[in-house]
Amino acid sequence: MLTKAAAVDLTPYNIRANSIHPGLVQTPMLEDNPAALDVLLGPSLIRRPAHTREISNIVLLLASDESNT
């Protein structure tokens, strides 16, 4: 709701408000413990952890003028 409120307040100034909420992210800690990975992926819809490159690509898109269209 904070992001929605910020978007409403900042739209008149041509400022976008976005938020990114990744779930499970692939890290060395997950690679070292495959059993934990299975448990943590239980509620995941895509059945795999996100990769840092995927998250950074979303950040770059949202920060760019391309997200304005």
CA dihedral sign of residues 24, 25, 26, 28: negative
Would you say 16 and 2 are in contact if contact means Cβ atoms under 8 Å apart?
no
Q: Which two tokens stand for residue 23?
A: 């779930």
Model confidence at 58, pLDDT cuts 50, 70, 90, reads very high
pTM for the full model? Answer: 0.67
> Which has more pLDDT, 33 or 58?
58
Both structure tokens of 5: 């409120």
pLDDT in tens, 3-26: 999 999 999 998 989 899 878 888
